[in-house]
Amino acid sequence: MERLTAAVVSYNTRDLLVRCLAALDGVDAWVVDNGSADGSPEVVRPPARLVQAGENLGFGRAINLVAQLAGDWEWLAVANADTAPEPGAIQALLDAAERDPGAGALAPRLILPDESTQHSVHPFWTPRFAWDFTRGRHRRDPSWGDAQCLEGFWDAERERRVPWALGAFLLVRRAAWEAAGGFDPAQWLYAEDVDLGWRLRAAGWATRYVPSARVAHAESASIGAVWGDARTERWMAASYDQLRRREGRRRSLTVAAIMTVGAVRDGQREWARLHARGLSDRAIGRHLPRPPAAR
């Protein structure tokens, strides 16, 4: 297997971390623990390597640290501790990368505890997308919904390039990682993956979804304990933060305005409230306090 390093970010998911490391047997695995109090660091044993940074790095900064420390790697497997690749999954991702040399990031099929496929690929938010979505184009033209990777419309069985994919587990090519600059440390928690996908695209690299590569995912195992019901609010705030920094304030406000009006029209009061926060400079990800540790 090509020179592959796995960077695993852990926070109070001890049993899941044990499962993750067992699934990564034979891979150069590094674990960055973000201050767990459940004995997670103690289960990291050689040949896996433990990094205790002494502070809460969040997700992206922790992955960046491993990318620096691991040195001579060709592929970086970005992983939450609540994931576990099934046998052959990593090789399936590598095979897909060989078929598509322009793919900088390879995304597996994420399998939830009930054996269903998690919706893990998404469109970038743009004014045009917001306009078409709020006008219900996906309902009139399901093929458009599939092309935009919308939940309930995308074909989870078809391998293809996608705009971006969840960062729960990704395989990233070194040349693409370096061209994009790794994760942006400003995205402390949430939207790190959309931001990486955006910068990969800007650098000329694609993200490819590979359904034959199956990775178990106990979704939000650690984040749920930290954020609880505020998870969606935190994700929305961080997403508008990312959009504003990358696309500019005008485009961010345009998207927020269209999505807010659409949600109000459809009677979705909570979604309208969340999108409306994108109309304010206070809506960026920093408006929510950081927990003691995350992910």
Which pLDDT belongs to residue 9?
96
Q: What is the distance between the alpha carbons of residues 248 and 256, in angstroms, rounded to a whole number?
A: 12
C-alpha–C-alpha distance, residues 1 and 3, integer Å:
7
Q: At residue 273, does pLDDT exceed 60?
A: yes
pLDDT at 229: 59
pLDDT digits (tens, 9 = 90+) for 89-104: 999 999 999 999 999 9
Backbone angles phi, psi at 105, to 5 degrees: -130, 135
HEC assignment per residue over the chain: CCCEEEEEEECCCHHHHHHHHHHCCCCEEEEEECCCCCCHHHHCCCCCEEECCCCCCCCHHHHHHHHHHHCCCCEEEEEECCEEECCCHHHHHHHHHHHCCCEEEEEEEEECCCCCECCCEECCCCHHHHHHHHCCHHHHCHHHHHHCCCCCCCCCCCCEEECEECCCEEEEEHHHHHHHCCCCCCCCCCCHHHHHHHHHHHCCCEEEEEEEEEEEECCCCCHHHHHHHHHHHHHHHHHHHHHHHHHCHHHHHHHHHHHHHHHHHCCCHHHHHHHHHHHCHHHCHHHCCCCCCCC
| CB distance 276 to 237 below 8 Å | no
Question: Residue 144's pLDDT band (boundaries 50, 70, 90)?
Answer: very high
User: pLDDT digits over 162-219, tens only?
Assistant: 999 999 999 999 999 999 999 999 887 789 999 999 999 999 999 999 999 999 999 7
> What is the structure's pLDDT at 234?
86
CATH of 4-119+156-221, one of 3.30.2130.30, 3.90.550.10, 3.40.50.300, 3.40.50.150: 3.90.550.10
Q: What does the pLDDT read at residue 143?
A: 96
What is the structure's pLDDT at 223? 54
Whole-number pLDDT of residue 99: 97
Average pLDDT of the residues of the chain? 91
List pLDDT tens digits, range 35-85: 898 999 999 999 999 998 777 788 999 999 999 999 899 999 999 999 999
pLDDT at 287 over 50: no
Nearest alpha-carbon partner for 224 in 7, 8, 13, 9: 13
Nearest of 226, 183, 219 to residue 35 by alpha carbon: 226
Confidence of residue 286 (pLDDT cuts 50, 70, 90): very low
Domain coordinates of the chain in residue numbers?
A: 4-119+156-221, 226-287
Amino acid at 173: R
Residue 149's pLDDT band, with cuts at 50, 70 and 90, is very high
Q: What is the pLDDT of residues 6-29, one digit of tens each?
A: 999 999 999 999 999 999 999 999
pLDDT of residue 55: 76
Specify the pTM. 0.92
